[in-house]
Amino acid sequence: MKKVNVLFVCLGNICRSPTAHGVFQHKVAEARLGDSILVDSAGTGAWHIGNAPDERAIAAASARGYELGALRARQTRAEDFDDFDYILAMDRQNLSDLQQSRPAGYGGQLDLFLNFGRHPDFAEVPDPYYGAVQGFELVLDLVEGAAEGLLADIRHKYSL
């Protein structure tokens, strides 16, 4: 069976989307759905291509049991719309950038990732790059919540 392919997108692909990538991958493995769901992440910007995630993101995730250290940043590309069933943006600017390059026939779900969460105060994952370490904890809180909702959505839609 074809896998369900999920792509998380932020600006740099070194803070928010690798966190979402690592957290969601962990939840997929816990649910023993690794053979059915493929997870990836990318950035709309090109500055950090080939780089590991930000050390603050790696440390904050590691403290909650998620390993991000092996991930490497890449930029979004046109073929992502051929390859991914879900393309999930961390903020509205990322979503807007993706919508610019969305082909008319894209049949997947291009959306804000936090639409799968139920947080009353946050529709977007705030960019933690220029802020304090607490920003990385907030990223994890928001991502963990939305990851649960996303997994439930996929399980329901694909009968997994």
Question: Residues 44, 87: contact at Cβ < 8 Å?
Answer: no
Cβ closest to ligand 4NP, residue 31 vs residue 59: 59
Distance CA 73, CA 53 (A): 7
Cβ closest to ligand 4NP, residue 54 vs residue 85: 54
CB of 15 to ligand 4NP, least distance (A): 3
Q: Which of 15, 16, 56, 91 is catalytic?
A: 16
Question: Residues 87, 108: contact at Cβ < 8 Å?
Answer: yes
Question: Residues 10, 125: contact at Cβ < 8 Å?
Answer: yes
Cβ closest to ligand 4NP, residue 97 vs residue 158: 97
Say whether 127 is catalytic.
Answer: yes
Give the binding site for ligand 4NP (CB under 6 A).
10-16, 43, 47, 127, 129
| Backbone angles phi and psi of 87, in degrees to 5 | -120, 110
Active site residues: 10, 16, 127
